[in-house]
Amino acid sequence: MDVFYLKLLLSFLVGGSFIAFTIWVSEKYGSKLGGVIIGLPSTSLMGLLFIALTSCDSVAVAAVPILPAVAGINSIFVALFVLLHRYGWQKALAISFLFWLLASFLLLSLHLDSLILSIAIAAVLYAVSAAYLRRYPHTKAPIRNSSAREFVFRAVFAGAIVAAAVLLAKANGPLWGGVFANFPAAFLSTMLLVSGKHGAKFMASVCRTMAFASIAAVAFTIAFYFSVLPLGLAQGTALSLIVSILVGIAIYRLAL
């Protein structure tokens, strides 16, 4: 099987199942835990692994510096969607997507290759999104029961959004491909599915943690940057995942 089609299939299956599982966790155990789990690396993990496997470890490491800044943009995307949801999810999505597209394209046009500058940009954007989203308290879902059929529907819906982002990244050339490869498909599908069933209030409470908890994914990319070349892909990725999980636990216990 062609490597791209394998990536597309895994994006659909793994991405969709992971998001459906996260929504189930949010419903059963509350928005805080669900938000932290969805913030763990999924897209960045798969993306960097496929770059390393199809090119080489050094190419994957070279792709890291821009990622923290992109994660910061994604957190603003989430905050904008929550802010504008009162005007309808269609308008909220259109404006949030336009912001994300322009901001991501600006980063690419600047050829951001400084990890320190990227982290600084991410810190500012995270601070802005967290300052707004903190107004929404953590809460439990008003409805907890979800059937197996509903879980499958969520997995298919979310997987389709994730796979569409991967497909757009492949089809639009290297520049726009880089843009769409970083699209927060997991965040978007979670927001649409949660708001559709539980309403804007619970969706916003999930987003409060979800946007900020993606710092765990940033921690993964930074650890990946420093560990893969000296340790090798397998050990470096494993260490990076451990760092990311520890950061996620810290965010769950201490933050927000």
Q: DSSP H helical segments within 63-199, as ranges? A: 67-84, 89-109, 115-133, 148-171, 173-181, 185-198
Of 42 and 205, which is predicted with more confidence? 205
Distance of CA 98 to the CA centre of its chain: 17
Dist. CA 241–CA 41, nearest whole Å: 8
Extract the tokens encoding 144. 């907890």
Q: What is the pLDDT of residues 61-70, one digit of tens each?
A: 887 888 889 8
The answer to whether 76 and 210 have CB atoms below 8 angstroms apart is no
Tally of CB atoms within 10 A around 237: 22
Extract the tokens encoding 241. 């995942």
- The angle formed by the CA atoms of residues 217, 223 and 228, to the nearest 5 degrees, is 120
Q: What is the pLDDT of residues 70-128, one digit of tens each?
A: 889 989 999 998 999 888 888 998 999 899 989 988 888 887 888 899 999 999 999 99
The answer to whether 181 and 107 have CB atoms below 8 angstroms apart is no
Extract the tokens encoding 186. 């997991």
For the chain, the structural domain boundaries read 3-254
Q: Per-residue pLDDT for 145 more than 70?
A: no
Q: What average pLDDT does the segment 178-203 reach?
A: 74
Helices and strands, number each (H, E), in the chain: 14, 0
Residue 182 has φ and ψ, to the nearest 5°, of: -100, 10
The answer to whether 213 and 35 have CB atoms below 8 angstroms apart is yes
Which pTM does this prediction carry?
0.81
Whole-number pLDDT of residue 117: 92
